[in-house]
Amino acid sequence: MSKVLISAGPLRNNPGRFRDLLHQAGLETIDPPGDYQLTSQDLDSLLPGVSAVVAGMEPYTNDLFLRCPQLRVIARTGVGYDAVDVQAATRHGIVATITPGTNQESVAEQAFALMLGVSRRVALNDRIIRIGGWDRTLVIPLRGKTLGLFGLGRIGKAMVPRARAFGMDVIAVDPFTSSADAQKLGVQLVDFETLIARCDVLSLHCPLTPETRGLFSTAVFDRMKPGALFINTARGGVVNEADLHQALQRGHLAGAGLDVLEPEPPSADNPLIQLDNVVISPHISGIDTKAMADMAEKAVDCIIQLKAGDWPEDCVINQDVRPGWKW
């Protein structure tokens, strides 16, 4: 019987339709204890003999693949795959899949939770009241503001109706979206310089790539509007955190809402944690209860299709592995 490792922390040792589907397909599930993110050392001990993984954010490297010749599928619960060495996976005949269309609504909701948390001082006022204070400092409205989206993929698109509901205008940068498609959403496509100069709130919805790593730095923050808000639910690596801290500390940016950092979890001395105008959540934007269930089922569906000799075209990120691939 082929073995499937359940490595995504929120799924391990928990029931769900995803698990029933695997068992019905004749696949055995293996669940490590705990819900923490697995390390390379953990995977070294768990992956030998495993054919497929329902994966979280743990690292999948060439060295690991060398030690796990039986591994055939890495099925990511989510759409980001920067933790997977995709080229190495292809060389070793391992299919890597993602779960598009399952968690964009969850990410958009968290982005707005962070936006409201910062603009309306929700977390800060709560802390003040709990220690006996009562600070009625005026808060920043969202209505009438311009939301700038760096990325207009599934998540960026999910941001648009929420922004409209709050009375915001929306502009965006996305090289893969046409002006006509953006207009259908009521979004104006602009260039990067226009985006950062015009937006009152900048929200990131891009993958972590060599081109985006560290892109948001002093050079960008200095060209944003004084008093703008910065929201990141993408990846911590796209931001230079030291530069962000400086922009927030000197008041050029009014606040930041961050669901992602680098590294995660942050060290206790991360200076962003000390700022009152920063709201941080623990990389949970894409994993509310519904999204997690949907991602798990789609990841498992990929595994089951591949085991049966079918090809989940819209989910496979390394199509070059297909010729000659077999379970």
Give the catalytic positions in this structure: 235, 264, 283
- The bridge status of strand 228-232 relative to strand 253-258 is parallel
Shortest CA distance to 4 belongs to which of 44, 46, 35, 64? 46
| Rg, Å, the chain Cα set | 21
**What is the Cα–Cα distance from 236 to 259, expressed in whole angstroms?**
8
- Which two three-digit tokens encode residue 304? 């089951």
- Where are the alpha helices (H) located in 60-149, listed in sequence order? 62-66, 86-91, 104-119, 122-130
Structure tokens at 85: 């060495």
Enter the DSSP assignment of 193: H
Question: Contacts by 211-215 with C-beta closer than 8 Å and gap 24+?
Answer: 212/237, 212/238, 213/237, 213/238, 214/238, 214/239, 214/240, 215/239
**46 vs 232: CA distance, rounded Å:** 33
Token representation of residue 76: 């990511």
Cα–Cα distance measured from residue 248 to residue 63, given in angstroms and rounded to the nearest whole number: 40
Q: In angstroms, rounded to a whole number, what is the distance separating the alpha carbons of residues 51 and 53?
A: 7
The H or E element that residue 177 is part of is none
Sheet containing 3-6, strands listed edge to edge, beginning at the edge strand earlier in sequence: 28-30, 3-6, 52-55, 73-76, 95-97
Instruction: Give the length of the chain.
Output: 327
